Structure 1
Amino acid sequence: MDSQEIDAYLRRLGAERPARPTADALSALQLRHLRTVPFENLSIHLGEEIVLEEKRLLEKVVGARRGGFCYELNGVFGALLAALGYDVTLLAARVYGEEGRLGVPYDHLALRVRTVDGGDRLADVGFGAHSHFPLVFGERGDQEDPGGTFRIAEAGPDAAGVRGGHDPARGGDLDVLRDGRPAYRLELRPRVLGDFVTGAWWHSTSPRSHFRRSLVCSRVTEEGGRVTLSGRRLVLTGAAGGEREERELGTDEAVLAAYRDRFGVLLDRVPAVRGL
């Protein structure tokens, strides 16, 4: 990523270029990303190709002012952070389902980011409702965040009895919990963006993938709540799980206006879940 691309990305976020790759600057960048770049799976239902290459992700997120899902958002955010001087490691994760069972390998992409002043952080702008700020990677106690109470813990068995793996050079897998419930399990082995192509393909094509079965576009609001458009249902949630407002949008024009006004996403047609 060259200097012009960095500046364009930062303008997209409404952020200044940090003087140094510090923990505070990382926190500010993550929050701006969550507020301005939506978590969305619209490409799957618009028939758009998802390409996990830095230039193509920049074209989508910065040039077309779109969002994406984890591989896209954390992939391109990781590239920005590396260009700003952070030491960034891509990590694979498996997401916990509702019954406490782990999903497929390469189910999620998260970032381990080393700062010049505060050690390692777990940064994540691609998990939907999650922490607003990076988590301290080496902390094993509760970490309070506007998005909830988070904890990074040594992985135990999941509901199906699957235990965490162990890398002798790096230690065992880690579970990331939100409000006491496991969200995803991290592997500590470093990955590259190309490793996640299969996961992106599975989530884009498999009838078992929730991304394939539903539409979502969501971001954090300036007040710390969340705005989400799921198909034609617009949901506004207050900060800290506060008041919730939900309504159906009755016309295509209203849906397209919500994408434009709530998320800055300009579409020429309303996306619809494609046949499975």
Structure 2
Amino acid sequence: MNKEKYLARFHARAKKEITFEQLDELQFMHMQHIPFENLDVIRRIPIYLNLESIYEKVVGRQRGGYCYELNGLFHWLLSELGYDAKLIAATVRRPNGTWAKSDTHAAIIVELDQSYLVDVGFGDSTLHPISLNGRPHKDHSGLYRVESREDDCYDLIRQTRDDEKTLYRFSTVAKQLVDFHEGCVFNQVSKNSSFTHADLVTRATQDGRITLSGTQLTRSDNGEKQKSDLTFEEKQLVLKTDFGINPESLY
């Protein structure tokens, strides 16, 4: 695996200094240029927790992935660049308020002057590292903060104009990528997984987000959303032009 080619994949450059500013830029650029997507899951193409195969998919074939792939590979990159980074497990809270299968989301903690939550594999979420000290951070999708709970657990919370929601709950206990094997299988095959029902591809933009869900395309810009239903041909074009994914490579 080549870290320079990976950085080029999302138009980033590494600096010699290990700083929050560089970490912030890396996360923001990654989320703009490498989509969160479940296209292999829907097509029943197995996903393995092997960094070399993930690298080949994301860098070699210009694809995206879901949390194990994106955060697994990004964690490798941060470690290669000299950051004190570790994978952690989280439990997602669904939009209806119920909790998904325990510890089946992978995220990252980076230690700098303090501890930061870093996540390039959750789709519509914060574009920047969030401090675990409770200090809020605002971007165009909401106001984010991490709230401490008992037993070394924390909640990632998003506040918008309409409401406030916990996105997921996490522990700071270090994990290895292989520890997510059960969750990776579950999210590929279970009818209770959020990823086994329809195509989902999403990435951040400079001022919003673009999301393909099934055949519906949503473009958001500074809080304003436009939705449209796509034909098969239009969907293929959107995959190629808006997400950089060659539809022919999916079959």
Per the normalisation by structure 2, the TM-score is 0.93
Distance, in Å, in 1 between the alignment partners of 2:43 and 2:245 is 13
2:121 alignment partner in structure 1: 126
CA deviations on 1:103-130 (whole Å, 9 max, x unpaired) are: 2122211100123xx3321110111111
Q: Percent identity?
A: 33
Output the CA distance in 1 between the equivalents of 2:139 and 2:219.
Answer: 19
- What is the match of residue 52 of structure 1? 49
Give the Å deviation of 1:142.
2.6
Which whole-Å deviations, capped at 9, do the CAs of 1:189-213 have from their partners, x for residues lacking one? Answer: 1100000011011011001111011
- Given the alignment of the two structures, is residue 176 of structure 1 paired with residue 173 of structure 2, yes or no? no
Assess if the C-alpha contact under 8 Å between 1:110 and 1:122 holds in 2: yes
Q: 1:245 Cα deviation (Å)?
A: 1.1
What SS is found at the alignment partner of 1:196?
A: helix
Structure 2: gaps (5+ residues)? none
Over the aligned positions, Cα root-mean-square deviation in angstroms equals: 1.6
Secondary structure of 1:18's counterpart equals: coil
Please give the alpha-carbon distance, in whole angstroms, between the structure 1 residues aligned to 2:99 and 2:208.
Answer: 28
Q: Does 1:9 align with 2:6?
A: yes
Q: State the AA in 1 paired with 2:187.
A: H
Bigger strand share = 2
Question: Which 5+ residue runs of structure 1 have no aligned equivalent?
Answer: 156-163, 167-171, 272-276
Q: 1:205 aligns with which of 176, 179, 189?
A: 189
2:70 to 73, 77, 82: 73
Retained in 2: the 8 A contact 1:34–1:125? yes
Number of residue pairs aligned between Structure 1 and Structure 2: 247
Contact 1:256-1:270 within 8 A present in 2 as well:
no
Q: 2:39 touches 2:250 (CA, 8 Å); kept in 1?
A: no
Q: Distance in 1 between matches of 2:184 and 2:9?
A: 24
Letter in 1 for 2:190: S
Larger Rg: 1
* Counterparts of 2:32 and 2:135, CA distance in 1: 27
* Aligned residues of 2:144 and 2:156 also touching (Cα < 8 A): yes
Q: How far apart are the structure 1 equivalents of 2:141 and 2:3?
A: 28
Work out whether residues 177 and 184 of structure 1, in 8 Å CA contact, stay in contact via their aligned partners in 2: yes
1:212 aligned counterpart, secondary structure = coil
The residue number in structure 1 matching 2:172 is 188
Structure 1 runs (4+) deviating above 3 angstroms are none
